[in-house]
Amino acid sequence: MKIHSLDIYVVDLPTIRPHHLAMHTIVTQTIVLACIRSEDGVEGWAEVATIGGASYSEESPEAIKFNIEKYIKPLIIGEYARNFDALSYKINLHVKGNYYAKALVEAAVIDLTARTQNIPAYDLFGGKCHSSMPVAWTLASGDTAKDIEEAQRCLAERKHNIFKLKIGKGDPRANVAHVIKIKAAVGNAGSIRVDVNQAWDEATALYCIEALEDGGVDLVEQPLVRWNHEGMARLSSRFKVPIMADESVGTIHEAYQIAKHRAADVFALKIAKAGGLTAVKKTAAIAEASGIPLYGGTMIESSLGTAICAQLYSTIPEMAFGTELFGPLLFKDNVTLNRIEYENFEVKVPEGPGFGMEIDKEKVKHYSREVYIV
C-alpha cells in the first residue's frame, strides 16, 4: 500500500499545572502530529513533543513542520509504507539531523503499516515482552510539604511509587535538601530520583550527588551538560548512585561512545531524540551489549505519543528502571478518543491496530494552529 499524502499539525495543549524544568516551565505543551494516508484512505497517525520551543532541542515545533513538508514529504509520497525501515534509511541519506522530524514521520508510517495489517505496531518489532511497565511521576510544586503529601497520596492510591524531582533550577543546595526531606518521608515505600537537566558544573555535581547518595536517592539524571562525557564518566565512577544519560544519549553514535567510555550507568530512551523507533531499538541493543540498564523516557507526550513509546518500550526485554510515561496525566485535554490506562503503579501498553489509539479529529481541529484537512 503506497503513501498518498502527509499532513502536519502543530497543536498546543494546556496542562493541569506548571511543569518546571531547568530550561523552561511548561504551562501549555506543544506537540506535532502527523497524518499519513494510503492510496486506499487508511490513516496512520503519530506525535512528537518538544519543550519550550527550541529551549530543549535544536528543533522547534515550527521547524519540525517546515522541514517535513519541504524536505521529507517528497521522499516518501508514492513509496510503500511497509518498507518503513528502508524509508528511514532513504530519509537519512537526504536529510541530516532533524531527528524529531524523522521520528514523527517514521512513527506515522509504522502506524499506517500496522493498521493496514490489522496488528499492533509492537508486532512489527518482534512482539511485546511487557503488558504494563512501572511509571514515574514528577513532583513539581516546589513546596516540600505539598510534594510529600502528593507522593503519599499517589502511593495510597497505587498510582505511582517512583517519583522524580526536577532540581536544575534554583539553588542546588536548597534543592538537594528539599529532595532529601521527601525521601525521608517516603522511605522505602517509593523510589526518589532527580533530574538536573544539564544544569550543574562538575564541582556542584560532586557536592550535590554525594549528599543525594547519602540521603538515599536512587538515580541522578543528566547532571552535566550533554557534551561533557568525560565529566559524566568521572561522576559515574565515583558514586554508587547510578548516573543516567538523557540529553547526552540521542543517536546510536552517541550511545556507542557513552557506552565505550562508561560515561553513564543508565540510558534514558526517547524516540524523538534518537530519530525514530528503529533507532531506539538499536540504542537498546548497544546498551544491552554494554551491560547498561534502560529507562523509558518521555518528552511529555500526550496520549498518542505515549502510546507510541509504550508499545516500543514493551518490546525491550529489560527496562530495569521503568518508564516515565506519565504525560497524559499532565494534560487537561486529549487528542485521542481513548485514553492511556494506569493501574497498580504501572502504565498499560495500549492494544489494537497500530499504536492502539483513535484520533479525536475535532480536538485536533480545536487545538491545531493550522487549518485541519479532512
Instruction: Report pLDDT digits (tens) over 288-305.
Output: 999 999 999 999 999 999
Query: Taking residues 271-299, what's their average pLDDT?
Result: 97
**Strand order from edge to edge, sheet including 3-20:** 3-20, 25-38, 43-49
Residue 24's pLDDT is 67
Q: Is the pLDDT of residue 19 over 70?
A: no
Cα 279 to Cα 65, 194, 203, 276, 358: the distances in Å are 21, 26, 34, 5, 25
Q: Which residue has the higher pLDDT, 199 or 140?
A: 199
Average pLDDT over the chain reads 94
57 band by pLDDT with thresholds 50, 70 and 90: confident
Residue 140's pLDDT is 85
The percentage of the chain sitting over the pLDDT mark of 90, rounded to a whole number, equals 90
Tell me which amino acid residue 247 is.
Answer: E
Residue 23's pLDDT is 61
Taking the C-alpha atoms of residue 40 and residue 3, their distance in angstroms, rounded to an integer, is 9
- Asked about 164 being catalytic, the answer comes back as no
Q: pLDDT tens digit string along 162-200?
A: 999 999 999 999 999 999 999 999 999 999 999 999 999
Q: pLDDT tens digit string along 20-56?
A: 665 667 678 899 999 999 999 999 999 999 986 776 7
Q: Is the pLDDT of residue 374 over 60?
A: no
Residue 270's pLDDT is 97
Residue 370's pLDDT is 80
Q: pLDDT tens digit string along 77-126?
A: 999 999 999 999 999 999 999 999 999 999 999 999 999 999 999 999 99
Domains of the chain (ranges, CATH numbers) = 3-120+358-367 (3.30.390.10), 124-348 (3.20.20.120)
Taking the C-alpha atoms of residue 122 and residue 312, their distance in angstroms, rounded to an integer, is 6
Global pTM?
A: 0.94
Taking the C-alpha atoms of residue 118 and residue 112, their distance in angstroms, rounded to an integer, is 10
Phi, psi dihedrals of residue 6, rounded to the nearest 5°: -145, 125
- Asked about 166 being catalytic, the answer comes back as yes
Q: Please give the grid coordinates belonging to residue 253.
A: 553514535
Extract long-range pairs of 222-227: CB within 8 Å, 24+ residues apart. Answer: 222/195, 222/196, 222/197, 222/198, 222/246, 222/247, 222/248, 222/268, 223/196, 223/198, 223/199, 224/196, 224/198, 224/200, 225/198, 226/198
Q: Residue 285 in contact with residue 309, Cβ under 8 Å?
A: no
Burial tier of 373 (Cβ tally within 10 Å: 0-12, 13-18, 19+): exposed
Residue 372's pLDDT is 65
In degrees, rounded to 5, the angle at the alpha carbon of residue 291 between the alpha carbons of residues 286 and 292 is 75
Catalytic-role residue among 47, 221, 254, 324? 324
251 band by pLDDT with thresholds 50, 70 and 90: very high
Residue 1's pLDDT is 83
Q: Please give the grid coordinates belonging to residue 58.
A: 535544536
Residue 56's pLDDT is 74
Q: pLDDT tens digit string along 214-236?
A: 999 999 999 999 999 999 999 99
Catalytic-role residue among 166, 183, 270, 273? 166
